[in-house]
Amino acid sequence: MKITTLETAEKVPFNLDGRKMYSGEKVELVHIALSPKEEIALHSNPFDVIFFVVEGEGELLLEDLSNKITPSTTVYIEKDKQRGLRNSSNSLLRVLVFKIF
């Protein structure tokens, strides 16, 4: 068994508050916290992702679409699709990102 907390989790190698909560051969779980008005620009990855909104509100950007996300929302996005996140609120946005390899 391995237990990971936000405080002990490895930081992602990007300029944002992202923590690797679990990393394995087939899946990785990352906790992302975006401050008000902070965003992750559109980008693509060679793996599928599932976003789960834990706290706050924001926008999930998918290619040329913007979708409002709220707590307890889950969004699945296939690999190679342009995607991004934006905290459009005045409070913290916390999202779990499941990367499926």
Q: What is the 3-state secondary structure (H, E, C) of 35-98?
A: CCCCEEEEECCCCEEEEEEEECCEEEEECCEEEEECCCCEEEECCCCCEEEECCCCCCEEEEEE
6 is a domain residue:
yes
Range of the domain at 23: 1-28+46-55+64-101
* Section 25-53 average pLDDT: 97
The answer to whether residue 37 is domain-embedded is no
The pLDDT of 16-28, averaged and rounded, is 97
Whether the model clears a pTM of 0.85, i.e. scores above it, the answer is yes
In a domain? residue 36: no
Q: What is the overall mean pLDDT for the chain?
A: 97
Q: How far apart are the first and last CA of the chain?
A: 22
Number of domains in the chain: 1
Q: Are 94 and 55 in contact (CB under 8 A)?
A: yes
Neighbours of 10 (CB within 10 A): 12
Place 94 in a pLDDT band, splitting at 50, 70 and 90: very high
**pLDDT at res. 7:** 95
Is the residue at 40 inside a domain?
Answer: no
Is 41 inside any structural domain? no
pLDDT value at residue 83:
97
